[in-house]
Amino acid sequence: MNFSEFEDKIGYHFENQSLLQQAFTHRSYLNENRASGRQHNERLEFLGDAVLELVVTEFLYAKYPDKAEGDLTSYRAALVNTVSISDAATKLGMNEFLLLSRGEAKDTGRARAIILANAFEALIGAIYLDQGYEPAKKFISEQLFYKTDEVVSKGLWQDAKSRFQEIAQDKETVTPSYDVLSQTGPDHDKNFVVGVYLGEKRIATGEGRSKQEAEQDAARKALVAKGW
C-alpha cells in the first residue's frame, strides 16, 4: 500500500516508512499475512497514548489557568476518548489505509471506531519515534485542539448519560430510563444492547461489552437523535 497520499494529507513525511506502515497494521492482518515481516501497531499505540495524554494535558493546563484539576481531567477525557479520536482518524481518511484481516475489515460501528482510535494513537507514537516530541505535538494540536472550545462551552466533557439526563430534565421534565434489550456471548466476552427511553418512547439503542458501556453508547446516540 502506498502511504504517500496520506503523508501529503497530514503534511508529515516519515523518515522511517516502516513506522508508518506499522501504525496502520492491526494484529488480525498478521494472522493472515505471517510472511509479511510486519509488526502490529499495539506497542506504538501504547506509546502514542502516553504522548497524546501529555500533549493534551500540557495544552489544557496552559489554556485554563484557573480551572481545577477535576475540570481539566474531564476536558482531557472528552478530547481523547474513543469517539473523539476515531472521528479525527475518520476525517484524515485513515480507514482507507488500515491493514486488517478479511473478518475485521467487515466490522463497522463501534468495533471499527475502536480500531481507528487505536491506529490514531499508534500514528502519534510513530511520529514521536520518527522525529520526536514537537512534530507529534504539532500533529495532535492540528487534529484535536480545535474541538476544545466546543467541548467546554457545550458541556461535552460530561459523560453522555449525565448530559442526556440534564438536557432531558430541562427540556422535557423527564428523567431518562434504560433497559437491557439483550445480552449475548460468553461471560468473558459479553455484548449488551440497551435501550434509552423518555417515558414510554425509546429514543435510541446502544451496544457495549458491559451494561454501563452500552448505556453510555445509547445516551450518545440519543443526544444525536434529539439534536441535543
Query: Catalytic residue numbers?
Result: 49, 121
CB 56 within 8 A of CB 79: yes
Give buried/exposed letters for 180-219 (b at 16+ CB in 10 A, else e): eeeeeeeeeeeebbbbbbbeeeebbbbbbeeeebbbbbbb
- Using CA atoms, how far residue 40 sits from 21, 134, 164, 170, in Å, is 9, 25, 38, 47
Write out the three cell numbers for 95: 480507514
Q: In what order do the strands lie in the sheet with 177-184?
A: 177-184, 191-198, 201-208
* Residue 55 to residue 36: CA distance in whole angstroms: 34
Give buried/exposed letters for 119-130 (b at 16+ CB in 10 A, else e): bbbbbbbbbbbb
Phi and psi angles of residue 40, each rounded to the nearest 5 degrees, phi first: -80, 175
